[in-house]
Amino acid sequence: MNTFRALMRSAGGQPPLGAWVMSASPIIAEAIGLAGFDWGVVDMEHTPLEMMGVTHLLQALGNTRMATVVRVPWNEPVTVKRVLDAGATTVMFPFVQNADEARQAVAATRFPPEGVRGMVGMSRASRFGTAPNYLQTANRQIGVIVQIESAQAVVQIEAIAAVPGVDALFVGPADLSGSLGLPGQTLHADVLALMADAVRRAKAAGVPIGTLAFSADAATRYRAMAFDFLAVASDLNLLMQGAAATLRALRTQDGAARVHTLNDGTQPEPGA
């Protein structure tokens, strides 16, 4: 059973909440997986991860209940093959623009005759040869998510969603804003309108669609649009937010204590 597909089926109207794993650290990935997120993305596109690092992250996340997705750097079969051999069961493909590119993505995840994935019996994916009939059953176990990251791709959603093997779509707000000439303005009215259009098209096609919301405002807007699943944090984002909040609180506290001392000539109480 593919854990991401199962999550989509059991969501019950509440969008499952996910996290991006960008730190390349198995320890942090395992902690994120145990924090309670429903799903997570091991990101190879915008991190320094290589294949051994991906393997270590998958091993760590295997100790958690989080449905794990691996985002490959690009839509090409060599990296996909290696990621699947390492044990990934759902792959996210960036910047898929049309149905042909979606078919290429799906084919990279399938053994022949359904695709072009190179066959191997001795891999982590097959539990090192101990999984019964792995070569005959693997194709049914692999999930595919394709990213919609341009205005042109939104127009092609119906055709992309109709490709057999595409399990879900994922809108990238940042790249979508760039395609509209509004780089980084992910909450601009034009970007939001295009995202809402993507959701309408995906719903009509009967394919789940998700997106990325790293602020409460964005998450509220995307929920109102009826996205089916949301990524709401990244491990590095949470780390930086926590660090900044701690420093801000302590520095504010320290500054207030110094002002108090200057005003009355006494030292602040411990913990004040």
The domain segmentation of the chain, as residue ranges, is: 3-264
pLDDT at 266: 46
Question: Considering only CA atoms, which of 116, 108, 40, 58 is closest in space to residue 79?
Answer: 108
pLDDT at 253: 77
Q: Whole-model pTM above 0.85? A: yes
Q: Class for domain 3-264, per CATH? A: alpha beta
Which residue out of 46, 56, 188, 260 is catalytically annotated? 46
pLDDT at 90: 98
Contacts of 38 (CB under 8 A, 6+ apart): 7, 16, 17, 18, 66, 67, 229
pLDDT at 13: 81
- Report the alpha-carbon distance of residue 87 to residue 219 in Å, rounded: 31
Question: Considering only CA atoms, which of 32, 38, 46 is closest in space to residue 3?
Answer: 38
Residues of the chain with pLDDT under 70: 254-272
Say whether 46 is catalytic: yes
pLDDT at 269: 37
Q: Which residue has the tokens 């309408």?
A: 200
